Amino acid sequence: MIYSNLFWEVNAILPLSDLLLTCECFTSTVLETQQKATRLRLSELTKAEEFFKQRMGLRFKKLDSENLQFVFTNIDPKDHERVYYFTIKVIGKEYHVTDCCPQVEAMEELVQKLNKSNNLMEFAVTVRQKFKLVK
């Protein structure tokens, strides 16, 4: 009953057509703002991906719905095209390394630190540094 009375009071002040138009404009503005934010975020991610490709020789390879592979080049000074990689799988809220080539020392400890910090960027940089130590 209260809602019905409120509707009629609002309708008496602002005709229903104007109210609908106001709602449509508001919805349109919200959607435009969300779309701008999405385009900006996508642009930032594209720039970050390009940075990683150029600086770290890093590219991302989605193997399936659960596994993401981090593929590095530009590590071996004698063979810039040599490929190093590790594969991450997320189970629940935990990261797991399912594959790493070549194997790096103390990977279990690195993964434990990753799961505590949730800093995937730091983990990727650390693994790349470990790859440099592998002969």
Render pLDDT for 9-29 as a digit per residue (tens, 0 to 9).
Answer: 545 555 556 655 566 666 667
Q: How far is the C-alpha of 130 from the C-alpha of 93, rounded, in Å?
A: 25
Q: Quick one: 61 and 39 in the same domain?
A: no
Same domain, 67 and 124: yes
Do the Cβ atoms of 70 and 88 come closer than 8 Å?
yes
Q: Is 104 left (phi over 0), alpha (psi -120 to 50) or beta?
A: beta
The answer to the question of residue 37 being in a domain is yes
Q: How confident is the model at residue 130 (pLDDT cuts 50, 70, 90)?
A: very high
Tell me, yes or no, whether 50 lies in a domain.
Answer: no
- The residues near 22 (Cβ < 8 Å, ≥ 6 apart) are 14
Helices (H) and strands (E) in the chain, counts: 4, 4
| Domain shared by 65 and 110, yes or no | yes
Judgement on whether residues 65 and 120 belong to the same structural domain of the protein: yes
Q: Is residue 86 part of a domain?
A: yes
If one counts the domains in the chain, the total is 2
Q: Is residue 52 part of a domain?
A: no
Task: Return the pLDDT at 44.
Answer: 78
Boundaries of domain holding 39: 2-44
pTM across the whole model? 0.65
Mean pLDDT of 100-125: 94
Residue 26 has what pLDDT? Answer: 60
Q: What is the CATH number of the domain that holds 67?
A: 3.30.457.50
51 part of a folded domain: no
Together in a domain, 82 and 22? no
Among 44, 79, 75, 58, which Cα is nearest to 123's?
58
pLDDT at 38: 80
